[in-house]
Structures are given as structure tokens and as C-alpha cells.
Amino acid sequence: MLRSPSSSLSHHQRQRTSRLSVSMATPLATRGLPLASRGPPSSSSSSWPPSPLLLGRRPSRRLRSSSPQVDAAAAPGKSRKYRPSFADDLLLAFFRRKMVEEVGWDSEKPGYAGLMEVANRLMVKGKSASETEQAAVRVLQSLFPPLLLVLYKALLAPIAHGQLAAMMLEARATALSCQWLMGTCSVNSITLPNGKSWSSGVFIEKCKYLEESKCLGICINTCKLPTQVC
């Protein structure tokens, strides 16, 4: 049976149209499926499963540190709080008694709070900043035996232009024996004008004397400047 060319042509056109519709419908049918469920790629692909970049996903940015983890409770160990000992209480009482003798008045409050009121009275008693400084110098000098400061200035202070004395007493002795007054402190290195570095400085983390007095004038005139004179 013979077919006309027109009927054969229409048959081929229908097959071609059917294939085209199937190839166009396949991506539409698989759009709702996960990309990973489409099966492995062809043999020309380098690896499977595909990377997140090929899947259209943002790569994960999890950072892992090689350093050991630090406990949150032990982290703030840099700024430690100084806890006064029994010896510190004795030094506080001794220093307060000497200041009371200079002022001629004592506070009813105990401990460090009473000392601050006596220091405030010393500040008010002085008619000028210089007079207050001289009164504080007398208080500091009364803390030492009479000949100790004289021997210190005569024997130790001249050595190495005072650098040895500063390292032995003014730095280490202050850091060891005066934390009850100033708070936590330590010896640090300072650079001299000639470029050398000496461990003759005292680093105070947070000055307790200034914090409790709440007055910069009391700190300077009854502590900072008098200690430099002595």
C-alpha cells in the first residue's frame, strides 16, 4: 500500500514535535525535586556528591580554632582582686594611727572607709596644697625608724644614680607591702632617657586610694607627691 508524501511528512513532524515536547517538559518536571536526587553525574564529572557551589548553595563558613578552649569562668583572670591579709590590716591600722596623730581627729568608721575620712580631713586642714603635701610627708616619714631613711639616702641612693635603690626598694618593696593601700600592683619595666630599661616601675591596675577617696586632689596631695618627696 502506497503512502502519499504528505502523510509521511506529517507523521515525521508529529514524532519530532513529540520529542521536543518531552525534552522541554523534563526540566519542568524535575524542578520541584532536590538536585541531589537526580542521580550521579556522567563519567566526565570529577567527584560525587557535587560541591555546594554546583548545587547553588552557599558554602558553610564554620571556623575551627586549633587553640584550646578557655573556661568562661576562668577567663577574667588578668584583673585579679587583692585580698588583704592579717598583716595588711595591721599596716592599715598603723598608717591610720599616724595620720590621726597629724590631723588630730579620728573617724568613727572602721577600716579603709575610716582612713578615707581621715585623709579627707587632712586635705581640708591644710590651707594650701603645699601645706597638705608637707603634712602627708611627715606622716610617711613617721612610718619608718628615725635612722632608716637617713641611711637609705646616704648609702643606697647614690649607687648607680639611684637606679639600684629604685629597683630594690621603691619598686619591689612598694609592690609587696603597699597593696593594702593601692590595690593590686606589680613591678614593671620603664625606659630611661639613655635608652636602657630597668625594672623600677610600679604598675597599679586600679588605684584603690583614688577610687575610695573619689577625689583627685586627695590622691595627688596626700599620696602621689609626698611619696616622691620621701
Q: Is the pLDDT of residue 27 over 70?
A: no
pTM of the model: 0.61
Q: Which of 63-67, 109-113, 199-203, 221-225 has the weakest average pLDDT?
A: 63-67
pLDDT of the residue at 25: 43
Helix 129-141 vs helix 111-125: crossing angle, to nearest 10: 130
Residue with the larger pLDDT of the pair 166 and 33: 166
Region 145-174 average pLDDT: 81
Query: What percent of the chain is modeled with pLDDT above 70?
Result: 64
Q: Is the pLDDT of residue 58 over 50?
A: no
pLDDT of the residue at 121: 96
Burial environment of residue 213 by CB neighbours within 10 A (0 to 12, 13 to 18, 19 or more): buried
- The pLDDT tens digits of the residues spanning 118-159 come to 999 999 999 999 999 999 999 999 999 988 888 888 888 888
Give the chain's mean pLDDT. 74
pLDDT of the residue at 190: 84
CB-CB contact of 177 with 170 (8 Å) = no
pLDDT of the residue at 22: 42
Local confidence band at 96 (pLDDT 50, 70, 90 cut-offs): very high
Alpha-carbon torsion (153, 154, 159, 165), positive or negative: negative
Local confidence band at 46 (pLDDT 50, 70, 90 cut-offs): very low
Pairing label, strands 197-204, 185-191:
antiparallel
The Cα–Cα gap between 48 and 51 comes to: 8
